Structure 1
Amino acid sequence: MWVIYAFLSAFFAGIMSILAKIGINHVDSNLATAIRTCIVALLSWAIVFLVHSHNLLSTISWHSMWFLILSGIATGASWLCYFKALQIGDVNKVVPVDKSSVLLTMILSLIFLGESLSFLKIIAMILIGLGTYFMIERKKNTQQATTNHWFFYASLSAIFASLTAILSKIGIENVESTLGTAIRTLVILVISWGIVIVQKKHTHLKTITPRNWLFLVLSGLATGFSWLCYYKALQSGPASIVVPIDKLSIVVTVIFSTAILHETMQKKAMIGLIFLVGGTLLLLV
């Protein structure tokens, strides 16, 4: 079942990137992140109370709680960087860099979680690495080079996302997955709104258009469903496989970014996508 949950997580995450890209148009990225986190928090805690998981709060050890909090901090940092990159760069460029976190996650899972390393897994890592490299399009002229800040933020997003997976795997081991997701979301909520208030970006709330509100709410719902599926899969399955499957959301993102946002993909990037998907599917063999 964890494989099914991992694929569902990838699907919702792919949709989320497109909805978020539309929703953060002319909206401060940190404020947009804070708004989306509210939606995720409401959704996750509603499900917690619906399935009565809140009764298990007292059973969570301090060890698990600390790792859930740390994973929430890492997620918050990853989100802030990701949506900043998404705001100033093309989805087709930002997402592959963010998804490169899969390589670091696989390496960290071998070191800290003791997960096995097989010949097929090594080949898969090579394919995923090559695929990511091919999908990253470099700007050549000087005028476009000034917009390359998206690469810096996307890279930071990937690093924090890798830490999130490892910390979450440890923290959620003996915790009901829905409750663990809800706890982490509260941490992200505090971080995101804390940054917004310090920067006084909350004053921009009244300038957000109804269209932006709609897509921010929809992207928040998509994120919530993606998270619930992701951490359910992560609780039962190995991080070195669950994370790569989740990163297949890039396929959904590319399809929708081409159809809806009319972003183009070069032949080299298309080859990279094939390598990336092939390497990920090889992990399931």
Structure 2
Amino acid sequence: MQAVFASWQFWALSSAVFAALTAILAKVGVEGIDSDLATFFRTIIVAGALAILLALTGKFSGEQSMTRRAMLFLTLSGLATGASWLCYFRALSIGEAAQVAPVDKLSVVLVAVLGVLLLGERLSAYGWLGVALVTSGGILIAWRG
């Protein structure tokens, strides 16, 4: 069982399940309130939950020092996350969750392309086929025809 918890596949699939729940729960939660306020409230909950988790696991201890480079890129990542959440909640307040979430998940395609262009990662022919299929799927689900 420990091998399951040590695998990236377990955590990635868990992330997908929680992301799906996020979309459905947020769609219901954003009804009747400003999407930016909803994003702010959710962010407070996320930060609080993480603070509790870090405190309970002793990870606030400072044993791991962060480099300036790490702090810079984590700050930029945090800003990108905030912008993503603001856009996502705005889209959910206007559109249907079954359309908004697949378009949002086109980030998978962007990560693959940016990983190749900026990080030097490589995709096989099957990987590129997957990128094309995810793109097609996202567009087909979101398109009202």
TM-score (structure 2 length as normaliser): 0.91
Task: Tell me by how many angstroms 1:58 deviates.
Answer: 5.9
Q: Which amino acid aligns with 2:94?
A: I
- After TM superposition, the structure 1 = structure 2 runs for residues 19-98 of structure 1, keeping only pairs within 5 Å, are 19-56=25-62, 59-98=65-104
Unaligned runs of at least 5 residues, structure 1: 140-285
Q: Offset at 1:138?
A: 3.6
Please report how far the alpha carbon of residue 49 of structure 1 lies from its aligned counterpart in structure 2 after TM superposition.
1.2
Deviation at 1:135, TM superposition (A): 1.1
Structure 2 match to 1:204? none
* Runs of 4 or more above 6 Å deviation: none
Matched, 1:129 2:132: no
* 1:115 Cα deviation after fit: 1.3
The one-letter amino acid of 1:135's match is I
| Distance apart, 1:56 and its partner CA | 2.9
Q: 1:129 to 1:68 in 2, by over 3 A?
A: same
Q: How many residues align?
A: 139
Alignment root-mean-square deviation, CA:
1.4
Alignment-derived partner of residue 103 in structure 1:
109
Q: Does the residue aligned with 1:56 lie in a helix, a strand or coil?
A: coil
Mapping for residues 161-240 of structure 1, pairs under 5 Å = none
What is the alpha-carbon distance in structure 2 between the residues aligned to residue 57 and residue 106 of structure 1?
Answer: 33
**Equivalent residue number for residue 4 of structure 2:** none
Unaligned regions of 5+ residues in structure 2, if any? 1-6
Percent same amino acid at aligned positions? 42
| Amino acid paired to 2:86 | L
Could you tell me which residue of structure 2 aligns to residue 233 of structure 1?
none
TM-score, length-normalised on structure 1?
Answer: 0.47
1:117 matched to which residue of 2? 123
